A and B are shown apart, each in its own frame.
Chain A
Amino acid sequence: MSLEASIARLLRLGVYLSMTLLAAGVIALLAAGISPLAGAPPLDPAAFAADLVDLRPDNLLWLGLLVLVATPSVRVLAALVGYLRSNEPRMVAVSLLILVVIAASIALALIVEP
């Protein structure tokens, strides 16, 4: 399978997985009768794993959003592996630098105060 084809499969998997989680979250939201404009509780990374088994709407929605936002980065990671195998140093460097920018956006978002 070509690199393009495996990346396409990965993208599809990420979108379908996140859509399933988000749809489940929306159904849970509707079932609980919560107004979407009520404001969701903020993401609490410490309690997240423990709370997830409860299948609360906000947890399902958060997980869906995180899977979705991570999907493009996973795609870059897959490309990095592919270009390492096919020995394309320029594209390996490009893939690594994209991951550095993504890491920088996580770091800066948490460090720099608005």
Chain B
Amino acid sequence: MVIALLLIAGGAAAGAFGSLLGLGGGILIVPLLTLGFGLPLREAVGVSLISVIVTSGAAAAVYLERRVADLRLGMTLELFTAAGALVGALIAFLVEERLLAALFAGLLVYSAMSMWRAGRRKGGAPDGVTGYVVRNRGRGAVASVGAGVVSALLGVGGGLVKVPVMHLVMGVPLRVATATSNLMIGVTASAGAIVYLARDGIDPYVAGPVAVGVFVGASIGSRAAHRVPLPQLRILFVAVLLYSAVLMIRRALAVG
């Protein structure tokens, strides 16, 4: 009983902070489940993939209606992220947990760094959501395969890879890149999640409470965004991510 409620609460916290900070929930859910509830890393990744399908599905609906997400671009790229996710999920069942922990630690440090930089950036020029021309589709496709592998291997949406590539390499406005990346997460994470599901890598007793929590948390987070002091929250989370990275590194180095 208590554990179920804690899982819901943990999912809600991850969902709320994820949507406030523009992080996918995944980067918070995997450390929560492994470091907080003692789940094996691979099981945590499976549950996390389920949670990112929830947040992406709800958010993508809004982005599509507002015409911010580019459906054609998203579907073209998600062909590659889904193929990458398929490969990533198969790799996840071949490698040792300690390697996954080390890779996840790297991802945490990278996220902390990009969050720190995003906080220091002076509000960039406002950009529109139409009238752009998509460039470098080939490079975008290659990067998408990489984003898909990372997603299925580590249980994240992969926005950390896709958004900068679409924005900086492919010439897509930042808002469109963020919305389109979000749209792509559903197909990407489900391609990975199918592999985990088929191999009993996702425990519904854990995934259920966490997913419900994430859904509630993300709904609250997206409504509360304007009432929360974001710069302070960002600094707090840089610290949380770095601390989780240290714990993940210890896990990677632990004698297994």
Contact = CB atoms under 8 A, between A and B. Distances in A.
Contacts of B7: 36
Residues of B contacting A: mostly: helix
Contacts, number: 179
B89 interface: yes
Contact of A97 (B1, B3, B54, B79): B79
Given A8-B62, A12-B58, A19-B215, A71 B53 contact: yes
A71 B205 CA distance: 20
A102 B194 contact: yes
Interface residues of B, number: 57
Nearest to A76: B187
Contact of B208 (A4, A61, A71): A61
Contacts of A39: 203, 205
B115 to A, nearest CB: 27
B232 to A, nearest CB: 31
B193 interface: yes
Given A11-B61, A33-B1, A109-B199, A102 B191 contact: yes
Given A25-B204, A37-B205, 13 more contacts: A8-B62, A26-B8, A26-B208, A29-B208, A57-B205, A68-B53, A71-B190, A73-B187, A73-B190, A101-B79, A102-B194, A109-B194, A110-B198
Interface of A: 3-5, 7-9, 11-12, 14-15, 18-19, 22-23, 25-26, 29-30, 33-40, 42-43, 57-58, 61-62, 64-66, 68-73, 75-76, 79, 91, 94-95, 97-98, 101-102, 104-106, 108-110, 112, 114
13 contacts: A7-B64, A8-B65, A22-B208, A37-B206, A57-B205, A65-B204, A65-B207, A68-B54, A71-B190, A98-B75, A105-B194, A108-B90, A109-B194
